[in-house]
């Protein structure tokens, strides 16, 4: 399936506009939207090969698609973990059987994925995995806990980094397993309510959950190498689309500053100009590094730039509104969840930007060790 636009694409646009006008942002609606995208071949356009029901596109076309998707105000994707993280990993490390089994449902928007990496007590230390997977015949029995698992409450599958060698330490003896989430009594998902009142993240408890032996990606004991490959896919084209959303948020903050008169303060004006200039610089930096390879520091630099920029924007969003930013958009009631307006949500949610996806400290350590060649930081024993 190629990237050329056809009459079917125009029909897709019409269908998409109708869907957006008629549906709210519920879990079922997001799943329906994924299937709509998959039916039109718009999932997996960045994969290096077609044949799974997806189109393929050049890097420039991928950028155009991602930016236009963001500009259109289309719904947030619930299938991005399977499309942008799992699929590229399977294409590199997976067997032909694994690719044939898992890539078509991702491309069709039929199966949603979550990522079982972070654990309590380990923070951003991915090598501190304690979740154990014990081989029992043709399957593995998994016991342990993952945390901050995005969209686990909606996912059909989870790729889990687990320790398959009981005597191993740190990055040795880990395996990358594909685990079905529909295992009542063996997998429990507990949503984590955040400051924003929403619960995109979850705790996931594995109590003897099963994964088939043929669903170990890259072979037993090779989980660290597979996991590191996957982390390299977390940045790229999607960062440019993210910046479209950042630009819209910045525009809203500027309009609020004009409305409240905060823009008359030279300090506020300087901060607004700085946010605009840094956003432009981040765009050019991403374009400079997009498609490149062999630069181990580029993803960490990008994460440091956008996370801190976005956090400062959240602070500025409430500053320019003054006292009104402390009041919610609706009357508060003890029995009802509180509501936030977009600026309040931005301010609160952005507090986590410098933590999730690898904290600022972790990103600086990567740059220090892998780019600058500084001595490695001593690690504790897991």
* Catalytic positions, written as ranges: 234
Whole-number Å distance between alpha carbons of 3 and 117: 34
Number of other residues whose CB lies within 10 A of the CB of residue 184: 6
Pull the structure tokens for residue 380.
Answer: 């504790």
Half-sphere exposure of 222 (CA within 13 A, CB side): 12
Q: What are the Cα distances from residue 96, in Å, to 151, 278, 341?
A: 27, 44, 47
Whole-number Å distance between alpha carbons of 368 and 297: 9
Number of other residues whose CB lies within 10 A of the CB of residue 83: 27
Angle between helix axes 237-260 and 59-71 (nearest 10 degrees) is 30
Interacting residues of 108 by C-beta distance below 8 A, sequence separation 6+: 35, 38, 39, 43, 53
| Torsion angle (degrees, nearest 10) of CA 125, 127, 131, 133 | 160
Q: Are strands 113-116 and 157-163 parallel, antiparallel or unpaired?
A: parallel
Whole-number Å distance between alpha carbons of 226 and 28: 31
- Alpha-carbon 171 to chain mean position: 23
Backbone angles phi, psi at 368, to 5 degrees: -65, -45
**What is the number of residues in the chain?**
382
Whole-number Å distance between alpha carbons of 340 and 329: 6
Strand segments (E) across the chain: 113-116, 132-136, 139-146, 157-163, 174-180, 187-191, 202-212, 216-217
Asked if 227 contacts 260 with a C-beta cutoff of 8 angstroms, the reply is no
Helix (H, G, I), strand (E, B) or coil at 35: helix
Helix (H, G, I), strand (E, B) or coil at 185: coil
């Amino acid at each position: 399936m190629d990237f050329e636009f056809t009459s079917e694409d125009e029909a897709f646009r019409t269908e998409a506009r109708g869907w957006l006008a008629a549906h709210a942002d519920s879990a079922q609606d997001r799943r329906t939207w994924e299937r709509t995208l998959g039916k039109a071949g718009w999932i997996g356009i960045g994969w290096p090969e077609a044949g799974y029901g997806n189109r393929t596109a050049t890097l420039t076309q991928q950028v155009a698609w991602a930016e236009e998707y963001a500009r259109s105000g289309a719904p947030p994707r619930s299938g991005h973990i399977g499309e942008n993280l799992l699929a590229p990993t399977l294409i590199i490390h997976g067997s032909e059987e694994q690719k044939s089994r898992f890539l078509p449902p991702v491309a069709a928007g039929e199966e949603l994925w979550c990522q079982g990496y972070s654990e309590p007590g380990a923070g951003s230390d991915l090598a501190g995995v304690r979740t154990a997977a014990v081989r029992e015949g043709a399957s593995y029995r998994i016991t342990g806990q993952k945390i901050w698992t995005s969209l686990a409450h909606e996912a059909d599958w989870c790729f889990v980094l687990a320790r398959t060698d009981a005597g191993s330490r740190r990055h040795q003896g880990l395996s990358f397993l594909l685990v079905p989430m529909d295992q009542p009594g063996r997998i429990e998902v507990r949503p984590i309510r955040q400051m924003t009142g929403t619960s995109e993240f979850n705790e996931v408890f594995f109590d003897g959950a099963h994964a088939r032996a043929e669903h170990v990606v890259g072979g037993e004991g090779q989980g660290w190498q597979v996991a590191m490959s996957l982390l390299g896919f977390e940045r790229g084209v999607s960062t440019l689309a993210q910046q479209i959303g950042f630009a819209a948020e910045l525009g809203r903050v500027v309009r609020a500053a004009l409305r409240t008169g905060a823009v008359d303060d030279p300090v506020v004006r300087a901060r607004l100009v700085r946010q605009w200039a840094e956003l432009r610089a981040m765009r050019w930096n991403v374009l400079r590094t997009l498609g490149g390879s062999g630069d181990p520091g580029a993803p960490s630099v990008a994460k440091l730039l956008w996370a801190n920029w976005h956090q400062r924007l959240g602070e500025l969003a409430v500053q320019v509104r003054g006292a009104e930013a402390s009041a919610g958009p609706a009357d508060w009631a003890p029995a009802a969840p509180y509501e936030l307006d977009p600026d309040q949500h931005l301010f609160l949610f952005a507090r986590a930007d410098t933590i999730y996806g690898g904290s600022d400290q972790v990103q600086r350590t990567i740059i220090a060790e892998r780019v600058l060649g500084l001595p490695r930081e001593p690690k504790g024993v897991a």
